[in-house]
Amino acid sequence: MAVSEEIKKIKLELEKHNRLYYEDDSPEITDAEYDALYARLKELEKNSNSDAEDSPTKKVGGKAKRSFEKHNHLKPMLSLNNVFSEEEFKKFDERVEKWVSEDNTVYSVEPKFDGIGISITYEKGNLVRAVTRGDGLTGELVTENILQIEKIPKKIRLNAPDIIELRGEIFFGLKDFEKINNELEKANGKKFVSPRNAAAGTIRNLDTEIVKSRPLDIFFYGIGGHSDDFTINAHEDFIKYLKDNHFPVNDLINFCKKTHVQGQVQKILSSRESLNYEIDGAVVKVNDFKKQNKLGFVSKAPRWAVAWKFPASEKYTKVNDVLFSVGRTGVVTPFAQIEPVLLSGAKISNVSLHNMDELKRLGIMVNDTVLVKRAGDVIPQITKVNTDVRNGSEKSINIPEYCPSCSNVLKTEGPFLRCDNGMKCPAQLFGFFEHFVSRKAMNIEGLGYKINKHLINLGYVKEAADLFKLQNFETELKALEGFGEKSIDNLFKSIEASRKPNLERFINALGMPEVGETTASALARFFKDFGSLRKASFFDLMQMDNIGEVVAKNIIHFFKNETIGLDNLLNEIEIQDFIVSKDSHLDNLKIVITGSFENFSRDELKQTIKEKGGIPSSSISSKTDFLILGENPGSKFKKAQELGIQVVTEDNIGKFLKL
Ligand code: IVH
């Protein structure tokens, strides 16, 4: 593959994983895998002299999510560069000493907490606001939620400056995490994948009561912006200041010369397994603030601090059984039921084995001893089978011939097993239904795991259209244990309100393989009405920029073979055509937004651009038509200037968008 092509591919991958990690709280790859991709991109960029202004290596991941007000940080919340070895740390230290023209630097060494960064502002000693990291420049205002956390002092009592941003990491203790997950599982069958994920989901919960009911914890470790009357000049003194003011500070922090840094990192690593919270490395910081200032930042990370990352945690355990589960699209996936192990904070009892090829590659048997590995938030994996300790009790795995959910004969498609019984298979019906009603699809409130199971098991829902006939079972539903009359009435209201979905949502709701939100949106824009999409040929679909052969085939196959009862469903609903609004003055213009705005949220701007026919885009290229420019714009502005792209500033947004 050509270098430029590989750069492009990795960039897209990293952007996707940033989105999954920061915006959706549902990462799909390990931190180590992310780091490897990132390192590869950096290397390629270096070797190819690519300027890559819009590269993920030049920006902090993540964007602010909806529903909370946005707020700019006084000083950006940045990331840290990583080192993985003593040699790499040595290079970091050499650069530090070169910049400050002094040796014998004193460093602090402290755990790198695997939680959620938060910036809390105190004015005249009073807590006035709390903002999540967001995109590093602008985060979400979560003050109300932060006020629920008992451990966070609401006042700085001693030597409070006029204004100061205190930075820290919010997390759940491992025991609390397990308790929360047990309760959630009982209530709706869903769990958080990791303590970090639970902390993210809790601090961005719109219901303060939920936040209050969960014992979030915090460690403070840094300063953002502050007024001139804050005169502390070393990290060690700052930590003391925090302690004196009763701010929770981690007690594994140490201060030492460079020669002792590795020892301190090792000390933290060796205590890792016994801690009641999750860490994924150590952070090494230059102690002296004057030196920190001199060193400053490069691109997205400080030159005065570095994260010394630990390897992913792994443990040996026993395979109790290998079972098979049926997903929404009929794919039958093997998974190992293992003797539970605690790995990076979460109790793991099931591990996916992905497909038949993976089963063969591992050569795994029931009763085998296997190595399970998991980094941070990410899905655990079996990386090795220890065949040396086999004792004859191992049993080979029975590959099913029949679907474990509906007993239909399974088909083999490459490395996958598939049940093609569609909605007649209860597991597929359940998977489809959960997706169909979800927030970004038909958006029906009041349908959780428990009630969905009931609706399917009791036979009230056999195909999509049945959702709209649930009122026929009003009495029965109201008599179900655990579902009050009011909640059923609200459910009916929400179902009624969903009868006129817009085309994008509806396409997404169909749950066609590999047609998610983005593709659904592109299809809606291209075909404008559902009828046209339904009768589109392979050739028609391939006319679209962003649809490849596989997706086009999936779509054709879906409409030919669907079992969701599409015709019946269409009798119940009225799909709203994709309208490029009466005012389509932005028709097909590619518009990039950068920076933050006083009077608009980025989501609002994107929505309006879409409504008026424009295409919000994420990176600047020669194809970009306009750049909407906010505060603290970063590199996109520079690139737009170089390419001579027209710029719209906040004052002119109203005119430009014809608001
Ligand atoms: S200091 C300029 N100290 O790691 C950045 N960060 O990867 C200085 N983190 O955004 C941050 N533990 O959310 C610092 N002891 C620690 C930390 C820590 C966790 C997080 C923090 C930061 C991210 C960077």
Fold of 313-417: OB fold (Dihydrolipoamide Acetyltransferase, E2P) (2.40.50)
202 with 171: CB under 8 angstroms?
A: no
Calpha distance 590→637 (Å, rounded):
15
Q: Give the pLDDT of residue 62.
A: 42
Q: What is the pLDDT of residue 376?
A: 62
Contact 397, 365 (CB under 8 A): yes
Class of domain 70-309 (CATH, top level): alpha beta
Q: Which of 349, 347, 391, 350 is nearest to 368 (CA)?
A: 391
Ligand 1 centroid – CA 500 distance (Å): 45
Residues carrying CATH 3.40.50.10190, the chain: 590-657
Pocket of ligand 1 (CB under 6 A): 77-80, 110, 112-113, 117, 133, 169, 221-222, 283, 302, 305, 307
Among 70, 112, 285, 610, the one annotated catalytic? 112
Atom of ligand 1 nearest to the CA of 114: 19
Q: Range(s) for CATH 1.10.287.610 in the chain?
A: 3-55
pLDDT at 61: 45
- Are 632 and 77 in contact by the 8 Å Cβ rule? The answer is no
CATH fold label, 3-55: Helix Hairpins (1.10.287)
Q: Which of 110, 247, 283, 289 gets mutated to test ligand 1 (max ligand atoms within 8 A of its CB)?
A: 283
Q: Which atom of ligand 1 approaches the CA of 222 most closely? A: 1
Nearest to 112 by CA among 92, 83, 148, 140: 83
Atom of ligand 1 nearest to the CA of 111: 15
Residues lower than pLDDT 50 in the chain? 60-66
Q: Is 112 a catalytic residue?
A: yes
**Order of strands across the sheet with 590-594?**
615-617, 590-594, 626-629, 646-649
Q: What are phi and psi of 208, to 5 degrees?
A: -60, -25
Residue 549 identity (one-letter amino acid) = E
Model confidence pLDDT, tens digit, residues 181-202:
888 887 777 788 788 889 999 9
CB atoms under 10 Å from CB of 247, counted, come to 20
- Ligand 1 atom 13, closest CA: 117
What 85-94 contacts at long range (C-beta under 8 Å, 24+ apart), as own/partner pairs, is: 86/262, 89/261, 89/262, 89/284, 89/306, 89/308, 92/284, 92/306, 93/258, 93/261
314 C-alpha vs ligand 1 centroid, how far in Å?
A: 24
What is the Cα–Cα distance from 204 to 118, expressed in whole angstroms? Answer: 11
pLDDT of residue 63: 37
The minimum-distance atom of ligand 1 relative to the CA of 112 is 12
Q: Which CATH superfamily is 503-572 part of?
A: 5' to 3' exonuclease, C-terminal subdomain (1.10.150.20)
The confidence score (pLDDT) of residue 593 equals: 92
Q: Residues 551-560, buried b or exposed e (16+ Cβ, 10 A)?
A: bbebbeebee
Residue 438, CA atoms < 13 Å, CB-side half-sphere: 16
Return the bridge partners of 203, or none: none
Domain 421-497: which CATH number of 3.10.129.10, 3.30.870.10, 1.20.1250.20, 1.10.150.20 = 1.10.150.20
590-657 fold: Rossmann fold (3.40.50)
pLDDT at 32: 65
